[in-house]
Structure formats: structure tokens, C-alpha cells
Amino acid sequence: MQTYSLRLFLSLAAIALFAGALPSQAAETKAPAKAVLSLEAKVFKGDFEAMKKRRMVRIAVPYSRTLFFNDKGVQRGLTAENIQAFERWLNKKYKTGAHPITVYAIPVTRDRMLPAIIDGKADIAAGNLTITAERDARVDFSNPIDLNVDEVVVTGPVAPALSSLDDLAGKEVYVRPASSYHESLKRLNEKFRQAGKPQMVLRLMPDALEDEDLMDMANAGMIGIIVVDDWKADLWAGMLTGLKVHDTLKLNEGGRVGWAFRQNSPQLAAIVNEFLADQRKIMGSVTQRMAAFQKRQKGLKNATVEADWQRFEQSVALFKVYGERYQFDYLMMTAQGFQESGLNQNAKSHVGAIGIMQIMPATGKELGVGDITQAEANVHGGIKYMRKLLDTYFADADFDDTNRTLFAFAAYNAGPGRIARLRKEAEKEGLNPDKWFNNVELIAAKRVGQETVGYVRNIYKYYTAYKLQLETLEARRSALKETSPAPAAK
């Protein structure tokens, strides 16, 4: 086991200071009934006194394996602790007794955190939110939490050697557009431009992915260079051993972290600042947190290494044919094939599932697609089965193209009847039953656990890796065409 740096310990300790008193099992908190809302909730833009009368405070949080996630009804993560600590603190302060104030979590992607509070669909945004000039112009922030956050370069095994920030000139860096890292990288690119150096190529990643997802992908060798807050990078590098944290390559130093809320909310500002100041007096258990996170981690494989990419090239035409026939994104279906078997038609599971799509012989016979020991019939059968699940259990759904496929994956993993029930439950809780990420995914995490959530997210990460690889190959082909000499005139 890697020895953790003093800085990591101190950084996590600082987080613990405002996380509130911990239960015996770290980083998990029993959720009260209906403790998760969605952005479908009614618009409200009052200050804290109005919230107190409503007995409700809504906090937008990023769904992440470090900050907030749900596992069979248990809310886990640092931000989950903050929310529950805030609720306990409010009810103790105001002696609410039988009429408590409930602090609701609203899990969202990072690009929706600030719009949620601006539009009145949440009251606070919390979750390692860095205070930047651009954000400060849109919302107000609490007093900065006592944690100096540095944004550092993190690389995986396929990244080039780096010794200074100047080495990033001309390199590809992977970043989510809604992150503060994107702003920092754009500033560095401007410096490169002014110095006459080649700018970085910023490869934009889906905002549905979090820092942990990008670190997973870098660790597996799917992507090379990313930027992550130092404390989080150090934490996960202890578990994802292919990562290298470049402590001296800082894009932003001494970053300030705080809670955000609507502008002109003096009552809420005073309450939040009082709470955070009070919680800094309490020390939590850092080592228990680290152990809890370590248990949650499951690694990815690199879907784009030479041997696996050869299998991709050998089978992708089949996925195109049958993906189009059954109205699925062919790359997403290919990613499922990689998750199931590594796109290996010779794969056979211990229960007898066969081939690329891991089809049971009885299922293959029922589907009537031919000999599933052959790649084409196997791929045909797997995709046809996904279509059958959707047509049978989700005929009333209004899925877009992406969610159609995500729900098929979830149904395949957890059972279609169960996912159909979870959609109804999601709708009752104000979530969108036709969206997977940060909607039905949250109910699945609560009722089924992390297996199905992880299954769908892993496939989505493989899908993202395939898209990036194809974009890279296309860019190379275009560059070759531009540099090739024109044919000689006859």
C-alpha cells in the first residue's frame, strides 16, 4: 500500500473539519425519507427565513464517488456528510423538535449546479466548488473553507513525460467544459499563444463524467493528460496505481473552495458561514474515509490498446449493421460488447454465456438469429435482445437516442422489470423517468446498489474512449491529406 503524503492527510483533514461529526462508519449517512429531490421541483427564490418557514433547504450536489453517491439507501461521500451535518446543525440551532427542517440533496452534473440555484431550483450548491471570478460574477459564495486547493496535472501510463507546464504546449489534455480546470487550461493556452508556442488541444469530455471517471480512464490508458484538484488526485492515486500526480505542475494555486448560493441572500449567507465556522472545530476520521473509498473502487481496462483495438476493427461493422437495424448507437453497443467479453467471440462464462455479447444458448435459440457461436449471429442476438427489452418493458418511454441505449444496459444488468419499476419511483420523486444519469440512476443506486450504476458508467466510459480514438484517427487522416503532395499534372 502506498504511503500517503502529508499534504493528502492535511487536505483531507481540512475537509473533515467542516464535514461534521462522523458516524461510526465513515463517509456514509442514512438518508431520511425523500432526502433526494430533482430539478423538477418547484421554483423558489426566497432567503433563509422563507426556507425556514418551508422547512426545506435544497442543495445541488455533483454525483461523484468522492463527494456524493447512494448505495442501497445509504448516502455516502464527503458532501453527503456535509448535508446531513447541516441538517442536524439547523434543527439543533432552531430547536425544531417534531417539525424539523429537511436539507435535501439534488444530484446534478457540474454544469447544472450554478444554473440550479440561479433559476430557483436549488438554494445552495456544494461539493468542492472552486471560487472563480467567472462563477463569482453569477452567484455569491460563503467564506472560503480552509483548504488551499491546487489544480495539478495528472497523467496515466500512455501520457508523454512532463517536467514543466511548458511541456503541455501542443499536447492533448482531456477536460470537462463545466469544470474550473477548463478555465485554467484556457488561460494557459492564451499564455502559449502570446509566447508563440503551440496551444494545447483541449479534448472536451461529457459533463456526465466526474473527476473520478476521468482518473479511471487515465489509469487504464484510455486518455493521457488530465487536471484534478491535488487532494482528490492524491487520494485516488493511492488506489489507481497507474496514475502519476505532478505536484509541481500547477495550473491554479491556492484555490478557494466554498458553498454557492443566489446573489442578494444575506440571511442564507450568514447561516451558511456560521455553520461552516462551527464545523471547523470538529475533527473527523480521515483514515476511515480513505478505507471506505478504497472499497468502492473497481478498475477499467483500456479498450483502445492494440489487441483490443484490432478486435474493435474486426467487429465494429457488425455493430453498425445491427445497431442501425434496432435503433441503437453502434459505438455504445460495441462498448457493451467490450464490457461483456472484451469483444472476444471465444469468451465463455462460468454459467455458459457465449461470445462477444455473452448470450446464453437458450436465449440465442429463442431469438432465432442463427448460430451464436459465430460472431455475426452473436452480435445480432445481443442487440436484438436489447431491443426486445425496450419494446416489452419501456413502450411508454420517451427516451432520446443516448438514454434509449443506457436504459437497455441497465435493464440487461438489473432486470427489465426492476428498471421499469425504478422509472415509476423516479417519477414519483420528481426525477425524470426518461433520463438515466443523475435521474433514474439515483434510484437504481438506492434500491439496487452500485453494481448497475457502475456497469452503465463503465460502458459509457468505454464508449467515450472509442469516440475519442475515432476522432483522433480521423484528424490524422485529414492531416495526412492536407500534407500529401498534389498529383502531378498530366
The pLDDT tens digits of the residues spanning 1-23 come to 443 444 443 344 334 333 333 33
Q: In the predicted model, what is the mean pLDDT of the chain? A: 86
Average pLDDT over residues 207-218: 90
Q: What CATH architecture is 148-255?
A: 3-Layer(aba) Sandwich (3.40)
pLDDT of amino acid 488: 59
Burial string for 233-272 (b: 16+ CB within 10 Å, else e) reads: bbbbbbbbebbbbbeebbbbeebbbbbbbbeebeebbebb
Residue 487: pLDDT band (50, 70, 90) is low
Q: Specify whether the CB–CB gap between 240 and 298 falls below 8 A.
A: no
Query: How far is CA 5 from each of CA 67, 120, 386, rounded to the nearest angstrom?
Result: 21, 41, 47
Distance CA 338, CA 459 (A): 8
Sign of torsion over alpha carbons 187, 190, 191, 197: positive
Residues of the chain with CATH 3.40.190.10: 19-144+258-279, 148-255
The pLDDT tens digits for 59-75 are 999 887 888 887 777 77
Residue 366 has pLDDT above 70, yes or no: yes
pLDDT band at 246, cuts 50/70/90? Answer: very high
- Mean pLDDT to the nearest integer, 153-159: 97
Sign of CA dihedral 259, 260, 261, 265: positive
Please, which residues have CB within 8 angstroms of residue 163's CB and are 6 or more apart in sequence? none
Q: At what angle do helices 211-219 and 230-237 cross, to 10 degrees?
A: 40
455: pLDDT strictly greater than 60: yes
Residue range 121-148: mean pLDDT, rounded: 89
Determine contact, residues 91/234, Cβ cutoff 8 Å: no
Establish how many alpha carbons lie within 13 A of residue 111's alpha carbon, considering only the half-sphere containing its beta carbon. 10
Residue extent(s) of CATH 1.10.530.10 domains in the chain: 306-475
Query: What single-letter DSSP state applies at residue 54?
Result: H
Q: Supply the CATH classification number for the domain 306-475.
A: 1.10.530.10
Give this prediction's pTM: 0.74
- Top CATH class of 19-144+258-279 equals alpha beta
Q: What are the CA-CA distances from residue 97 to residues 101, 104, 105, 115, 439 (Å)?
A: 9, 18, 21, 33, 32
pLDDT tens digits along 92-120: 999 999 999 999 998 887 788 999 999 99
Which residue has better confidence, 75 or 427? 427
First to last CA, the chain: 69
Kindly report which listed range (75-89, 223-237, 278-292) carries the lowest average pLDDT score: 278-292
pLDDT of residue 71: 75
349-358: buried (b, 16+ CB within 10 Å) or exposed (e) per residue?
eeeebbbbbb
CA–CA separation, 454 and 222 (whole Å) = 17
Q: How many helices (H) and strands (E) does the chain have?
A: 18, 13
